[in-house]
Amino acid sequence: MAAPSVRWIWLALAVLAADRVSKFAIERLTAEGFRRPLVPNFADLVHNVNAGIAFGLFSESASKWISFLLVLSSAAVILLLGWLLFAGHAGRVESQAGIALIAGGAAGNLLDRLLHGGVTDFLELRAGNFRWPAFNLADSAITIGAALIIFELLSGESHARRARS
């Protein structure tokens, strides 16, 4: 039987593969700047490339240092998360799944930066005049992973009390 942490590596690899397939489809089937409503006034399929970080921060920077730091910090985070899983320091199952989702999403966005110099985003949500910046499957995995970790942190005390009872 494989070590328990190995299943989480498979989850991270599945996120990476699904992210790459979805971005490949957008990159091959649409031109940058593409926009088509999926659900009118709520969700649009788009094709954007974000050279910066979340929400396009630093995307206008021409500095190669920003790009280098983004690649370096992404790689460091992926290595740290992998170590947490393999070393058994990932907490309960919620955090283990969360760490795997974050690692897979970070790896997907890192691969995009290495291949294209920026991250391909393809889904944009809106409500009325509010428009959420475009994102991708990797971003979704990172968000869900963070939510799982926060859930475990917030529910940890009640679980500890139940375990003592």
> pLDDT tens track of the chain, all 165 residues?
445 667 888 999 999 999 999 999 999 999 999 999 999 999 999 999 987 666 555 555 556 777 788 889 999 999 999 998 888 887 889 999 999 999 999 999 999 999 988 899 999 999 989 998 899 999 999 999 999 999 998 987 555 555 555
The pTM of this model reads 0.85
Q: Residue 143: how many CB atoms within 10 A of its CB?
A: 14
Handedness of CA 105, 140, 117, 47 (dihedral sign): positive
Query: Cβ(78)–Cβ(86) under 8 Å?
Result: no
Question: Structural domain tally of the chain?
Answer: 1
For residue 1, what pLDDT is reported? 42
139 included as an active-site residue: yes
19 included as an active-site residue: no
Domain holding 53, by residue range, is: 4-164
Handedness of CA 69, 24, 19, 22 (dihedral sign): positive
